[in-house]
Structure 1
Amino acid sequence: MSIFTGAGVAIITPFNEDGSVNYEEFGRIIDDQISGGSDAIIVCGTTGESSTMDHDEHIEVIKYCVEKVAGRVPVIAGSGSNCTREAINISKRAEEVGANGLLCVTPYYNKCTQEGLYQYYKAISDAVNIPIIMYNIPGRTGTTIQPETAVRIAKEVKNVVAIKEASGNISAVAKLAALADGCIDIYSGNDDQVLPILSLGGKGVISVWSHVAPKKVHDMVYAYLNGDTATATKLQLEAIDVIGALFCEVNPIPVKAAMNMLGYKAGPVRAPLTELSDAHKELLEKALKDYGVL
């Protein structure tokens, strides 16, 4: 069932100063993430600024990522939308260019019902043949996939095999895990909650933190899965401050700043996002130095 186990990086999209995609640097980041231990590449998600891309650019970035990865790890493409027709179109095109799976965020702004969520994922699933990860992030979308709905979708809709849980509500994740009884893979969508979700049967994390420490995130997940909870706990707790710094402003503003600090040409964020404030730059730089990666 699993598309991947471990730490998948929710990869940034580096831009040139004119706002175009810096494909040369994108390739470098992809290579470094894979060699560093990332178990999957999640492309054109929130961290990749997909909401600022038109459809053709969105697919071009996915296609480049698939070709650059060349089968070394799974490539999971962000393809959700607040319009079901758009989500279907992006999902089909992502499959055509070789994505191994899809990460489909719940419809945003519309605030559909639980039945609407079921119909949304069913319609996407009916149009493609690759696995789908639902993405529950109510803080951004205004919509929550209730545990009962997630389990219903997993049991009744082909291809829906997992959920990225970024609600921050561990009680809801526990209820989901209990109701699912193994019928759906659960990935943490919050870097500071990876171990709690693993303890409830999670398969890993879709991570922003992996940008600055891919080996540590990979090692943490596998230490836990292999029974070394002490090492896993140590790695999680050692990273709490740097994780906080990576989310001191809205994602992906801080992580792109971090990647620039680490010597990558991550470039600017696209409007309406703005560059990291000077005060937060100081906080982030200190956190990266204290963590030992800068």
Structure 2
Amino acid sequence: MQKFIGTGVALITPFKNDLSVDFEALKKLVNYNIDNGTDYLVINGTTAESATISKEERQQIIELIVTTNNNRLPLVLGIGGNNTLEVVKDIKNTDLTNIDGILSVAPYYSKPTQEGFYQHFKAISAATEKPIILYNVPGRTAKNMDAATTIRLAKDFKNIVGIKEAGNNTQQYLELLRDKPEDFLVISGDDDLALGVTLAGGSGVISVIGQAFPKQFSTMINCGLEGKNKEGYAIHFKMMEIIDLIFAENNPAGIKSVLNELNISSTNVRLPLVPASDELQHKIKNFVNNF
């Protein structure tokens, strides 16, 4: 699965002032990332505010990104949830012709057992032949999927090709890297840990900040893939502040503030999220202007 190695970015959904989708800004963001070194694009993830996007809007967003991308980069589509039967139906009813892989989040709110996680992803694996990247993000789902469960899924289902691990848990990353099948991808979902994970044997990142600074972030991850820790950390140290800032209040309000400073999109988010505070936007503006 070479196509999912390197820097993937979890694209935002830009909104106009009336909170309708800003397709022109989205097109600009996609081209900006393609032109500046991003390796693949992730559609309809948490950062895209997928929880507040309608099915009709989702389809329009997919079509716009597919058309703009024009087969230049691999595309990963987020399809997940805590109703297994509905997720399976959604996968089967979605046109995946131009989609290279599916990113599927661990079931949220329901807090399943480890066996529940396993059976959920077993059902998803059977629903498609497309490569599946698991997504473990206990800070949002309220339950951690253990490394042992991930490894069990990796060994049992050939189309489960990787995991976006976003527990900000170094020990769990190391367990995954130690125990995984050779070709299984351990992808960092934590921008602050991405370089270290990659240097330890990970396959890169699905990043939030990467879409704002794709050239720098992808260069850093490539250093990690090549074992160039000194060069990689030189970039990492420069980006530590902005990574902290974009997650200080909520995601994607922080990254949208950065993209607004770069004249790519607005700061608008849909309720229940609210834009970054004036204080945070001021700190982000100072960083961007001095970066």
TM-score for the superposition, normalised by structure 1: 0.95
Cα RMSD for the two superposed structures: 1.5
Amino acid at match of 1:142: A
Give structure 1 stretches of 5+ with no counterpart: none
SS at match of 2:82: coil
Aligned with 1:14: secondary structure?
A: coil
Give the Å deviation of 1:224.
2.2
**Aligned residue type for 1:40:** Y
Output the CA distance in 2 between the equivalents of 1:3 and 1:186: 13
Structure 2 segments unaligned to the other structure (5+ residues): none
Residue deviations 1:190-215 (CA, integer Å, cap 9, x gap): 11101221122101010111122101
**Letter of the aligned partner of 1:19 in structure 2?**
L
Matching residue of 1:240: 240
Does residue 96 in structure 1 map to residue 100 in structure 2? no
1:80-137 CA distance string (max 9 Å, x none): 1111122223333445352111110011000111111111111111111111110010
- Distance in 2 (CA, whole Å) between partners of 1:275 and 1:39 is 29
Please tell me the residue identity of whatever aligns with 1:68. T
CA shift for structure 1 position 11: 0.6
**Separation in structure 1 between the aligned mates of residue 16 and residue 219 of structure 2, nearest angstrom:** 32
Paired with 1:260 and 1:279, the residues of 2 have a C-alpha distance of 15
SS of aligned partner of 1:51: helix
- Specify the code of the residue in structure 1 equivalent to 2:237: L
CA 1:43/1:283 → structure 2, altered by over 3 Å: closer, same or farther? same
Cross-structure match for 2:156: 156
Q: CA deviation at 1:181?
A: 4.3
CA contact 2:155–2:181 (8 Å) conserved in 1: no
Residue pairs, 1:1-294, within 5 angstroms? 1-290=1-290, 292=291
Contact 2:151/2:180 (<8 A) preserved? yes
Amino acid at match of 2:287: A
Please give the TM-score of this superposition, normalised by the length of structure 2.
0.95
Structure 1 distance, partners of 2:94, 2:236, is 33
Identical aligned pairs, as a percentage? 36
Deviation at 1:245, TM superposition (A): 1.1
SS of 2:163's equivalent in the other structure is: strand
2:223–2:231 CA contact under 8 A, matched in 1:
yes
Q: What amino acid does structure 1 have at the position aligned with 2:208?
A: V
> What code does the residue aligned with 2:144 have?
T
Which whole-Å CA distance do the structure 1 matches of 2:162 and 2:76 have between them? 12
